[in-house]
Structure 1
Amino acid sequence: MTTAKSRREEIYQLAVTAGLASVEELSERFGVTASTIRRDLAALNEQGKLARTYGGALAIGAHPEASLRQRIGEAFEEKQAIARWAAQQVQPRESILLDGGSTVGALAHALRGHADLTVTTPALNTVQELADSPGIHVDCLGGRLRSLSQTFVGPLAEATLERMTFDRVFLGADAVTAEDGICEADQAQTRLKELMARRGQHVYVLADSSKLGQRPFHAWVRLPLPWTLVTDDSADPHQIDLFRSSGVRVHAVERRHMVGDMGEEAGKAS
């Protein structure tokens, strides 16, 4: 009889080569119950090795989810420039919602000098960034901690969101397309982002150019229009056109501002 560790490793290897597997198929292959397989898939999902899909199927590719710590160093200058532009949109006395992720985390850092601001977040990195900022009141959405993304997800966070509204909502993404919206590795995160977008007067998706048009995972959420994509000027013009044609506002942060003055205008609007 195989151990849980060896079974999960084999599930991962099968998934990488086959590309798609279902709970039923895996249950039959390993001679265990569907509940056991679901626990295996949940564990592999938490490790960032697999991405869950609807209907009990598991979509698995060669794109394991990176941890928050790994993502912080990727496209660092682009993320900092996007964060600076986003911080300039925030006005005194506003109530804003900050998602998890490295780019939104950079926004949290850029907001440290703001005063008279209320920030709500499910993200531990944002809480840490703003914990000692005297002009910012921080509310944390509780729930189940997802270790890879360092965010709280699940019914508790969702129920809290239903009782709140925000002037601005800033979302992160593993990837984003004009056709299907935000792509994530985890269904619970896409569900939370969907609810976040519903609660904001102005909704922004912060995504550097490497994420546009990509499909690394199989968990999606389409955002209701209008919303604003904030990216950098290395973005493929064709991708920018696709977003604009679908009704999305786009701000492409100019490269010359990526190491520029915080007070300068750091973007251009469609």
Structure 2
Amino acid sequence: MLSAKARREEIYHLAVTTGLASVEELSARFEVTASTIRRDLALLNGQGRLARTYGGAMAMGAHPEASLRQRTGEAFEQKHAIARWAASVIRPGENILLDAGSTVGALAHELRNFDPLSVTTPGINTLQELADSEGIEVDCLGGRLRTLSQSFVGPLAEAALERMSFDRVFLGADAVTAEDGICEADHAQTRLKELMARRGSVVYLLADSAKLGLRPFHAWARLALPWTLVTDDGADPEQVQKFRDAGVEVQVAAVGGAASTTSAEAAS
């Protein structure tokens, strides 16, 4: 069993690399009582290393990028509405590229019973979603693993892309603006997304409404027209209009399962 000091260091490491950690999960992982974990969190909080949250803790002063684990629980209904719309445009037998990320991961979930389909991805969550899908052929873009995003990036992934082409490419983003395109926390990610977009006949960016118009980071990928933004019906109409004015097609997925609207329908 770990010493108390070693356990606290491991708790801090988990909070930095995998995101929000709950008392219950930490208690089970380290085989100690919930009270012991709460004392550990209180000490780490007193040292200014962790911020206490309801039922758990998250790192202070860590990378501002949210982990995949954190993002999966955010805007859950919106992401799955977007994923359902995206799944509806895919046809049997197509060869598609799925980016890493929580929204594209939701799309992978929608595709589990698709047959036949060829999928390429750098995302571990997508690999896990489709691992048992007999009708889907899955290829992984290998490379350097980014722990926070649970995805592969770098020269190896980029070199593999140069040998591929796709019927449809589905990208995710930390944020997106009409002026500058995709905003990410890491330049390796924006580079890979640019290359992904170049390899697809049709390109979709899946981004829930909370991501539109934001600039949380300083790494950008501008997509060449034409491409399609797929968002949810909570999007600010002014933000949506900015994308349309920039020549981007916009698809709005209704949360709750109603029909989506195209940019042309919404503008009429």
**TM-score band, normalised by the shorter chain?**
0.7 to 0.9
User: 1:62-73 to 2 correspondence within 5 Å?
Assistant: 64-73=64-73
Q: 1:68-147 to 2 correspondence within 5 Å?
A: 68-147=68-147
- 2:262 maps to 269
Task: Report how far residue 156 of structure 1 moved.
Answer: 0.2
Give the 5 Å matches for 1:92-241: 92-241=92-241
Contact 2:85 2:260 in 1 (8 A): yes
1:148-178, CA deviations, whole angstroms, 9 ceiling, x for partnerless residues?
A: 0000000000000001000000000000000
CA distance in 1, matches of 2:219, 2:61: 13
Partner of residue 250, structure 1: 250
Q: Whose RCO is larger (CA < 8 A, sep 6+)?
A: 1
1:228-253 deviation digits (Å, cap 9, x = unpaired): 00000110000010000000000011
Output the amino acid matched with 1:233: D
Q: Which runs of 5+ in 1 are unaligned?
A: 1-46, 51-63, 261-265
How many Å apart are 1:144 and its aligned residue?
0.3
Paired residues of 1:154 and 1:192 also in contact (CA < 8 A): yes
Q: What is the rounded CA distance, in whole Å, between the counterparts of 1:185 and 1:70 in structure 2?
A: 15
SS at match of 1:225: coil
The answer to whether the 8 A contact 2:81-2:256 is kept is no
**Does the residue aligned with 2:203 lie in a helix, a strand or coil?**
strand
CA distance in structure 1 between the partners assigned to 2:248 and 2:61 by the alignment? 30
Query: TM-score under structure 2 normalisation?
Result: 0.75
1:55 paired residue number = none
1:256: how far off?
Answer: 3.7
Task: Output the amino acid matched with 1:98.
Answer: L
3-state DSSP of counterpart to 2:137: strand
> SS in structure 2 opposite 1:255?
coil
Tell me the distance in 2 between the aligned counterparts of 1:252 and 1:137: 29
Q: Which 10-residue stretch deviates more, 216-225 or 247-256?
A: 247-256
Show the counterpart of 1:8: none
Quote the residue 2:4 is aligned against.
none
Identity %: 73
After superposition, what is the alpha-carbon deviation per residue over 1:20-74, rounded to whole angstroms, capped at 9, x for unaligned? xxxxxxxxxxxxxxxxxxxxxxxxxxx9944xxxxxxxxxxxxx10000000000
Matches of 2:176 and 2:81, distance apart in 1:
19
- Give the TM-score, by structure 1 length: 0.74
In the alignment, residue 268 of structure 1 is paired with which amino acid? Answer: T
- Deviating beyond 6 angstroms after TM superposition, the runs of 4 or more aligned structure 1 residues are none
Deviation at 1:267, TM superposition (A): 1.4
| Alpha carbons 1:48, 1:65 under 8 Å: kept | no
Structure 2 counterpart SS, 1:169: strand
Deviations 1:164-213 (A, max 9, x none): 00000000000000000000000000000000000000000000000000
- Looking at structure 2, the residues matched to 170 and 85 of structure 1 have their Cα atoms a distance apart, in angstroms, of 12
Amino acid corresponding to residue 247 of structure 1 in structure 2: G
Contact 1:48 1:148 (8 Å CA) reproduced:
no
